[in-house]
Amino acid sequence: MGHPRLGGEGGRGGDVWFVAQERMTLKGIKEKYPHKRFVAGTGANSSVRALKGEKGKDREVHVPPGISLVTDDGKQIGELNAAGERFLAARGGLGGSLATNFLPCKGQKRIIHLDLKLIADVGLVGFPNAGKSSLLSKISHAKPEIASYPFTTVQPELGKIMYADYKQISVADLPGLIEGAHVNRGMGHKFLKHIERTKQLLLVVDISGFQLSLKTQFRTAFETILLLTKELELYKEELVTKPALLAVNKMDLPCAKDNLNELMSQLQNPQDFLHLLEEEMIPANTLEFKEVIPVSTYTGEGIEELKACIRKSIDEEAERENEEYRKKKLLLLQTSQEEKMNGR
């Protein structure tokens, strides 16, 4: 409350903030705050001793990095990607003053959904049984469950590639896509939302092709790449613009070399082979692969080369981002100097 007789102003209400913090989990938040209700402190009344009332205490809610904040109607209002980042979720109301007839105003009240997306340097993308889990265990220190049937990873698995100079690159094996994932079949959106946060894509295809079940059509390696591209594109077009590498797995199988030669010629001129797929399955844009690496998780062929390619691709991208940042800084500096000169 304000103080009408002395014209004193009441303290404004505290704010509710979400703050990203390492080692925090969504499960931890649920256990710590079962009611999922967060209220900031109330502002102090104006009094003879303190005409300006004190502001209410802010409420800070710690959340894991990688959180998107979404309103009830599905609109994203913010995201916290790194530890220490803050988001103002609900603002406290103004204290009573002359403008409000010395009555306090109500603070904001909001319902917010916390949506956690995985953050990794590289996201493995492929249909079930392409060998993504095996590949992750070969290139990193992860120990995912590996099965010989089209077993789709239910939880995202995160591994780290360690290099001789102590550089680490995180790789996420995300739940396997199936045709129609964009319409929420299989793991659908649960899978695709994680890809948004990875810096680069590593598509993994089986050189001998893929068939989910006896009821579904057999797809060659080239058709698999087109279908994966289509699924990414239908979910969010920007996903197809991410830097991408292609790992062609199971090179130890018979006929793998012939299949690889055929795949390479198809990838060089994809437009000539689009007729192989039904029209609605053809992507608007084909993915441009920085490198195509034949590998075998069974014999270990190509694994070291793949790790080197991932490192090179990540380093090049970081250098490009640094260059863009330097150019922006320089432009800002030049603009402010010009403004100073013109202001003289």
Q: What is the pLDDT of residues 222-279, one digit of tens each?
A: 998 998 888 888 878 888 889 999 999 999 998 899 999 999 999 998 888 888 788 8
Return the percentage of the chain with pLDDT > 90, whole number.
42
How confident is the model at residue 152, as a pLDDT? 42
pLDDT number for residue 252: 93
DSSP 156: -
Q: Which range among 38-42, 60-64, 284-288 shows the weakest confidence by mean pLDDT?
A: 284-288
% of the chain exceeding 70 in pLDDT: 88
- Measured between alpha carbons, how far apart are the two ends of the chain, in Å? 49
- pLDDT at position 236 is 81
* Domains of the chain in sequence order: 4-116 (2.70.210.12), 120-321 (3.40.50.300)
Q: Sign of the C-alpha dihedral, residues 318, 323, 326, 328?
A: negative
Q: Where in the chain does DSSP place strands (E)?
A: 16-20, 59-63, 67-71, 76-80, 86-90, 112-116, 122-125, 157-162, 168-173, 200-206, 244-249, 289-294
Is the pLDDT at 151 greater than 70? The verdict is no
How far is C-alpha 43 from the geometric centre of its chain's CA atoms?
38
Mean pLDDT along residues 174-203: 66
- Is residue 143's pLDDT more than 80? no
The answer, yes or no, to whether residue 19 has pLDDT greater than 70, is: yes
Highest-confidence segment of 56-60, 224-228, 328-332: 56-60
Can you list the pairs that 103-110 forms with residues at least 24 positions away whose Cβ atoms lie under 8 Å? Answer: 103/1, 103/2, 104/1, 104/2, 104/10, 104/13, 104/43, 107/13, 107/15, 107/40, 110/71
pLDDT of res. 343: 65
Confidence of residue 131 (pLDDT cuts 50, 70, 90): confident
- pLDDT, position 175: 65
The CA distance from 130 to 250, in Å, is 8
- Which of 150 and 142 is assigned the larger pLDDT? 142
- The pLDDT, as a whole number, for residue 277 is 81
Q: What is the pLDDT of residues 70-123, one digit of tens each?
A: 988 888 899 898 889 999 999 999 999 999 999 999 999 999 998 877 678 998
Average pLDDT value for residue range 195-200: 83
Is the full-model pTM beyond 0.85? no
Q: What is the pLDDT of residue 263?
A: 93
Q: Would you state the pLDDT for residue 24? A: 84
